[in-house]
Amino acid sequence: MYENERPLPAVTRDTLLRATIQNTALMASFAEPVRNEVQRALVAGLEALELEDAEALARHHEDLLALAAWCSRTELAEAEAS
Amino acid sequence: MSAQTVASADAVDALWTLLDTARGVVEELRQDGLLDALSDVLGCMLPEDREAVLRILEHDAGGRNQVRDHVWSRFVLRPNPFAQIYTRPSMPSRPLGIRYLESRRATVVGARLARSLPPPVEEGWEPRTVEMWRGLDPAARALIVDTSRRILEGLEAHRRRVQGS
């Protein structure tokens, strides 16, 4: 929600990751047409980004995919060990 | 007065036509109340958001053309950028709603937040972040991974376009 003079929230690498995880996971509960529309809009929004913003967003999503991969490997190792 | 300072009749005609067209557009927007509405909307935003939102509008306006109930998608042909093809779906297009616009804004805000972070130096993640991921069901995990991959593909295409232009 917009509020005048309200600064953007201060984030850390992990709070931003958790916000993305939480918000995207919420999309799983949307009806498929709504989910598709939101995904389409998220991707379309990339067109308007400055290069520095785009690079920062890429680092964020690469970090998120690295987290997902690390968790998968860890869970697999735990399953094999038990 | 020297000859160099006198504009030709053709140039004056062209300027007059341009000004008349611009005046017509502004008058049309004012009559519809759209100009005031646009000013109000921009006035409600954080000052630093205005340019990003205008870039989105410019991009959408450049790529689409609304003809009655149909949204026509424009394809710009190379090497002649002035040659364009418009296509339209056979069914009337539903106008894009606030949900679409808010989602697009989320991309801009998210990128700005990501840019505000210091360069990554730490390995690994906070336990709370790992726990959140491990608490997700498989469908949510798949959706998140799919969305991130699509965004990365879009960013790579954007990077190529920006660096190629």
- Flag the least confident range among A6-10, B49-53, B93-97: B93-97
**Structural tokens at position B112:** 């700005």
Total domains, chain B: 2
What is the residue range of A36's domain? 24-81
Nearest to B56 by CA among B95, B87, B100, B22: B100
* In-domain check, residue B7: no
B145 and B102 in one domain?
no
SS3 B74: strand
**For residue B7, pLDDT beyond 70:** yes
* In-domain check, residue A16: no
Q: Is A79 on the interface with B (CB under 8 A)?
A: no
Average pLDDT over residues A37-63: 88
Average pLDDT over residues A41-70: 90
- For chain B, the straight-line distance linking the first and the last C-alpha, in angstroms and rounded, comes to 43
Mutate to test the interface with A, among B117, B130, B156 (most CBs of A within 10 A): B117
Q: Which chain A residues have a beta carbon less than 8 Å from that of B148?
A: 20, 24, 61, 64-65, 68
B102 and B144 in one domain?
no
pTM (predicted TM-score): 0.61
B111 and B71 in one domain?
yes
Radius of gyration of chain A (CA): 16
B113 and B140 in one domain?
no
B100 and B67 in one domain?
yes
**For residue B161, pLDDT beyond 80:** yes
Give the torsion through C-alpha atoms of A45, A49, A55, A61, to 10 deg. -20
Long-range pairs for A5-8 at CB < 8 Å and ≥24 separation? A5/B46, A6/B46, A8/B46, A8/B109, A8/B112, A8/B113, A8/B116
Question: B123-148 pLDDT, tens per residue?
Answer: 889 999 999 999 999 999 999 999 99
* In-domain check, residue A76: yes
Total domains, chain A: 1
What is the residue range of B152's domain? 132-165
Write out residues 16-45 of A within 8 Å (CB-CB) of B.
16-18, 20-25, 27-28, 34-35, 37-45
Non-local (6+) Cβ contacts of B76 within 8 A are B83, B84
